[in-house]
């Protein structure tokens, strides 16, 4: 693996006394597609939320694209990252949420142009053009003037993906992007993500319960358990021949549920 | 005679007709005090609500303390304070402005709570999405939170508009010639209180009905765009 674009070094995250991420060491390579699977409460979302700077860490260091995420250098030493540093780091990442979190009072187009214009300083014309391209890519070219509530869940999530991509991130974080969808709408969202994984050199980190999908898109699968990576490997290794008893039990339970 | 308008006491009807223009002048003052007081209340209330939502205790705590203080003291005390105490420190406002300011300050405590409830009802995920897209916190507040909070808070704000209107007569104690004060002066001079006071009641009813239907119209016609409204 070349220099990792994401690196967790002995990271600890606690909520009061509850340790949610427990001395986690974790690396993701440039352009790598990594899926995180594991039981509920094992800390999967927390890993993504730490990266998106939605949750601070208590111990350890997270590196993104060569820089510390939650720390910055200050006259020879290291201090907790200030807002300016966090803003610079956030530019590298985009996140897709389980509940979509589209802005309900904005049209689809404005959902996609607001941040590029107001945050990146892109011209309105350029942002609109880019929005058209992205909507076309997710198959929603004709929905730009609608409001989110006028769309189906699957369409909303595709807008959510396009909105994150509009900021030109190097890293895309997906937190169970299809868990809130009716079963018949899951496919359309997964196929957009699959295409993204195949056609782009984006680094992708996905949390999902869709095992078939994880098997298809990932370079590597990480099984999380109690805030640590219990087992990781290629999809063939994890799904075909899991070593750990916990992994086997988890996969068995999930596959039976499907 | 008041405001240069004579009254005619020859019959009840003639009296009523002759004092109507005088009362309407008072009503205009009432409307102006209501509008100005309400404007101050919604602006100041928003500032207080924004301060209360700041995670830093040094900022939010004083805002809570001010709100609580205003809410737990009578409007009349604040009015007297502004009218009699501030001039001792060289701050002299005309009675009307002082009155509108007192109303605005009193009601900003209530409107700030309305804003706060509206702001807190905006889903956590909206803040997270805004953060993920790198919005600054002020922009998140003005472009993401407020537009979603406002449609939710309009009915409650409307109720306060009507309340302010009904509190305007308090300003008569600092000589503001609002409608009730005018009616009382007419009564004092003609010894007929029944007719001017009844007319004030009627005019008030008309004003509040108009105000509340305007608020209801606004509420019904504001685009809700899939906002989950409780
Ligand atoms: N804000 C919070 N306050 C306290 N505890 C929290 C908070 N957020 C998450 N937790 C706890 O942290 C643990 C890990 O949460 P996380 O959301 O990362 O799990 P997850 O693996 O994504 O689970 P799921 O599959 O249910 O989404 C859970 O036990 C959860 O209850
Ligand atoms: Mg989760």
Position A74 scores a pLDDT of 87
What mean pLDDT value characterizes chain B?
91
Contacts of B134 in chain A (CB under 8 A): 87, 90-91, 115, 119, 167
β-bridge partners, A14: A19
123-162 in chain A: CB under 8 A from chain B: 147-150
- Best mutation site among A101, A116, A146 for testing chain B: the one with the most B CBs within 10 Å? A101
Atom of ligand 1 nearest to the CA of A98: 27
CATH topology of domain B12-117+154-221: MetI-like fold (1.10.3720)
pLDDT tens, position by position, B212-229? 999 988 888 877 666 655
- Across the range B68-77, mean pLDDT stands at 93
The residue whose CA has the least distance to atom 31 of ligand 1 is: A41
Provide the whole-model pTM.
Answer: 0.85
CA of A42 to the centre of ligand 2 (A): 8
Beta strands A171-175; A67-68: pairing state: unpaired
Whether residue B48 is predicted with pLDDT greater than 60 in this model: the reply is yes
Whether residue B230 is predicted with pLDDT greater than 50 in this model: the reply is no
Report the gap between the CA of B136 and the closest CA in chain A (Å).
Answer: 8
Whether residue A90 and residue B132 make contact (CB cut-off 8 A), yes or no, is yes
Ramachandran angles phi, psi of A117, nearest 5°: -75, -50
Beta-carbon contacts of residue B168 (< 8 Å; ≥ 6 apart): B30, B33, B34, B37, B99, B103, B178, B179, B180
Position B225 scores a pLDDT of 66
pLDDT tens, position by position, A72-101? 988 888 999 999 999 999 999 999 999 999
| Burial class for B12, CB neighbours closer than 10 Å (0-12, 13-18, 19+) | exposed
Ion ligand 2 neighbours (CB, 5 A) are A 45
Which residue in A has a C-alpha nearest to residue B131's C-alpha? A54
Position A140 scores a pLDDT of 95
Tell me how far apart the 2 most distant CA atoms of chain B are, in Å: 76
pLDDT tens, position by position, A120-135? 999 999 999 999 999 9
Taking residue A205's Cβ as centre, other Cβ atoms within 10 Å add up to 24
Ramachandran angles phi, psi of A99, nearest 5°: -95, 20
Digitized pLDDT (tens) for each residue of chain A, 258 residues in all: 568 999 999 999 999 999 999 999 999 999 999 999 999 999 999 999 999 999 999 999 999 999 999 999 888 889 999 999 999 999 999 999 999 999 999 999 999 999 999 999 999 999 999 999 999 999 999 999 999 999 999 999 999 999 999 999 999 999 999 999 999 999 999 999 999 998 878 999 999 999 999 999 999 999 999 999 999 999 999 999 999 999 999 999 988 876
Q: What is the ipTM of this complex?
A: 0.93
Spatial separation of the C-alpha atoms in residues A170 and A94, rounded to whole Å: 8
Whether residue A101 and residue B126 make contact (CB cut-off 8 A), yes or no, is yes
**Ligand 1: which of A8, A15, A18 to mutate, judged by most atoms within 8 Å of the beta carbon?**
A15
User: Residues lining ligand 1, judged by CB closer than 6 Å?
Assistant: A 15, 18, 20, 38, 40-46
Position B55 scores a pLDDT of 84
Closest CA to A94 of A31, A160, A32, A147: A160
**Ligand 1: which of A35, A37, A46 to mutate, judged by most atoms within 8 Å of the beta carbon?**
A46
Contacts of A115 in chain B (CB under 8 A): 133-135
Spatial separation of the C-alpha atoms in residues A180 and A186, rounded to whole Å: 9
Atom of ligand 1 nearest to the CA of A39: 25
**Ligand 1: which of A12, A16, A37, A42 to mutate, judged by most atoms within 8 Å of the beta carbon?**
A42
DSSP string, B50-98: HHHTSS-HHHHHHHHHHHHHHHTS-HHHHHHIIIIIGGGGT----HHHH
Token pair recorded at residue B131: 């953060």
Tell me how far apart the 2 most distant CA atoms of chain A are, in Å: 56
Give residue for tokens 């010894």: B191
pLDDT band at B17 (very low <50, low <70, confident <90, very high): very high
pLDDT tens, position by position, B122-176? 999 999 999 999 999 899 999 999 999 988 898 899 999 999 999 999 999 998 9
């Amino acid at each position: 693996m070349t220099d990792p674009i994401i690196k967790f070094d002995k990271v600890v995250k606690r909520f009061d006394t509850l340790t949610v991420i427990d001395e986690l060491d974790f690396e993701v390579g440039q352009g790598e597609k990594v899926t995180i699977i594991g039981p509920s409460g094992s800390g999967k979302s927390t890993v993504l939320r730490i990266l998106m700077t939605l949750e601070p860490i208590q111990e350890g260091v997270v590196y993104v694209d060569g820089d510390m995420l939650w720390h910055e250098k200050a006259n020879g030493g290291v201090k907790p990252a200030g807002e300016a540093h966090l803003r610079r780091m956030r530019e590298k990442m985009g996140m897709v949420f389980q509940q979509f979190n589209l802005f309900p009072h904005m049209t689809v187009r404005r959902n996609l142009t607001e941040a590029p214009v107001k945050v990146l300083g892109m011209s309105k014309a350029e942002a609109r053009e880019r929005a058209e391209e992205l909507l076309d890519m997710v198959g929603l070219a004709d929905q730009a003037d609608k409001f989110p509530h006028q769309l189906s869940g699957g369409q909303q999530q595709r807008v959510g993906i396009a909105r994150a991509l509009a900021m030109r991130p190097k890293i895309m974080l997906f937190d169970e992007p299809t868990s809130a969808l009716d079963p018949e709408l899951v496919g359309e969202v997964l196929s957009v993500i699959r295409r993204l994984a195949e056609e782009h050199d984006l680094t992708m980190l996905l949390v999902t319960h869709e095992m078939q999908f994880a098997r298809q898109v990932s370079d590597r699968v990480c099984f999380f358990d109690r805030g640590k990576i219990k087992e990781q490997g290629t999809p063939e290794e994890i799904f075909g021949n899991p070593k750990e008893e916990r992994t086997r039990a988890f996969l068995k339970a999930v596959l039976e549920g499907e | 005679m008041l405001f240069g308008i004579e009254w005619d006491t020859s019959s009840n009807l003639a009296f009523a007709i002759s004092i109507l223009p005088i009362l309407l002048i008072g009503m205009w003052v009432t409307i102006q005090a209501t509008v100005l007081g309400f404007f101050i209340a919604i602006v100041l209330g928003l500032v207080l609500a924004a301060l209360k939502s700041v995670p830093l205790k040094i900022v939010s705590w004083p805002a809570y303390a001010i709100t609580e203080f205003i809410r737990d003291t009578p409007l009349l005390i604040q009015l007297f304070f502004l009218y009699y105490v501030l001039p001792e420190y060289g701050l002299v406002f005309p009675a009307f402005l002082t009155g509108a300011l007192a109303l605005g300050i009193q009601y900003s405590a209530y409107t700030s709570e309305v804003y706060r409830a509206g702001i807190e009802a905006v889903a956590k995920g909206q803040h997270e999405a805004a953060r993920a897209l790198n919005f600054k916190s002020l922009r998140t507040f003005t472009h993401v939170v407020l537009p979603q909070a406002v449609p939710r808070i309009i009915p409650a704000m409307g109720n306060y508009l009507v309340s302010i209107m009904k509190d305007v007569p308090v300003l008569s104690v600092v000589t503001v010639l609002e409608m009730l004060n005018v009616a009382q002066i007419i009564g004092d001079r003609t010894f007929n209180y029944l007719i001017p006071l009844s007319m004030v009641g009627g005019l008030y009813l008309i004003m509040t009905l108009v105000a509340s239907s305007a608020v209801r119209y606004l509420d019904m016609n504001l685009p809700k765009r899939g906002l989950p409204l409780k």
